[in-house]
Amino acid sequence: MSYTFIGGSVTAAKGFTASGIHCGIRKNKTKRDLALIFCEKKCTAAAVYTTNLVQSSPITITKKNLQDGYAQAVIVNSGNANTCNADGDVKAEQMCSLIAKELSISPEDVIVASTGVIGQVLPIEPIADAAGELAQLLSKDGATDAAEAILTTDTVKKEVAVEIMIQNKPVRIGGISKGSGMIHPNMATMLCFVTTDAAISSAMLQKAVRQAADVSFNMISIDGDTSTNDTLSVMASGLAGNDEITAEGEDYDLFVEGLTAVCRELARKMAKDGEGATKLLTCQVSGAKTEQDAKGVAKSVICSSLLKAAMFGADANWGRVLCAIGYSGCDVNVHKVDVSFASVKGCIDVCRSGAGIDFSEEEAKEILLEDEIEILITLHDGNASAEAYGCDLTYEYVKINGDYRT
């Protein structure tokens, strides 16, 4: 492991400041709803987005702004998704222009994002009125306020930072994210903003972002719904002083390792904070023929509503694991499959060679009552492995989403 987790967040890297305030988009005045991340110099930048055909106006504008591979600021609002609105693109562009004026930068160098209710017109007046204050409050200590301002149904802020050594230079990578519901694999993420002081070209940063997302955010499922606003963006200031990474090699691999560590940790935090969730579920698959098979099996298991419900009830119903493997569409010999459940209370084998074995239901329940559960699957077909993240399915999830809009 070449990275070290450090204290800090999206402002851990050199050159970055952040802020977060309540501007009035959300009715609850105690909740921040507008966030800003800024770098003192123009950064190389890259992003990946939702695969949903319905995409938010902020994604449309951010894609346009990042065509040159550079950015200097991120502005995000919560409480309104600015999606499926006739004036959505105009409002997203206005957000960029408003904050660019306060920061004395080009509107084309702003990444914009929104999260919240779909199909409701985004009021621009609260953002216009608050843009000056938002810019004035920028500081190295503002990351936590920014992390809070992007939340919707989340119950906790999600922040992380790591440090790696590249060319004997300390390089920092930090990020914040939000996401509790409407989260499903095969997209970028929910909303996640990462910063780094590494010097890396836009092309290699884009490659690194996709590589990290594929094994982290693309391996989460909370509820099977792929959101319309999902965005993962990364800005790199280059202030760490390393020679610019312009090709694959040892330096690139070190950077990807650090970026992946940040993304995986944020992915785990999001899965654990799934809407109504009481448990983080991690499905570890080993012994697959290919990485694609390993990923497919892990995703299928973590997406199973029946398994998620069983985990909520601390029921060691391993048959639901086998069932999910069986319909995954992956190349698996189900007669070789081993399954175990694990937590801090221990590990228990529940299935060998695709068949049930004797085990203590009492011991299994004690293991599954913990708030972090591992579902361990060995396929005995090859050497590939993968990991997916999810949560249990609870009564509270239905309650939250039954009246989410009203």
Q: Which active-site residues does the annotation give?
A: 189
Query: What's the DSSP call for residue 15?
Result: T
Q: Say which amino acid occupies 394.
A: T
CB atoms within 10 A of CB 202: 17
**Bridge partners of residue 389, in order along the sequence:** 220, 282
Across the chain, which distance is largest between two alpha carbons, in Å? 68
Is residue 16 within 8 A of residue 195, CB to CB? The reply is yes
Q: Give 40's Cβ-side CA count (13 Å radius).
A: 11
DSSP letters, 323-334, are HHHHTS-S---G
CB atoms within 10 A of CB 34: 29
Residues for the chain: how many in total?
406
DSSP letters, 15-58, are TEEEEEE--SSSS-TTS--EEEEEEEEEEEEEEEE---SS--HH
Is residue 391 within 8 A of residue 279, CB to CB? The reply is yes
Would residue 27 be called left, alpha or beta, if left means φ above 0 and alpha means ψ between -120 and 50 degrees?
Answer: alpha
Q: DSSP 3-state assignment of 307?
A: helix
CB atoms within 10 A of CB 172: 25
Nearest to 54 by CA among 123, 114, 113, 118: 118
Question: CA angle, corner 115, sides to 33 and 172, nearest 5?
Answer: 80
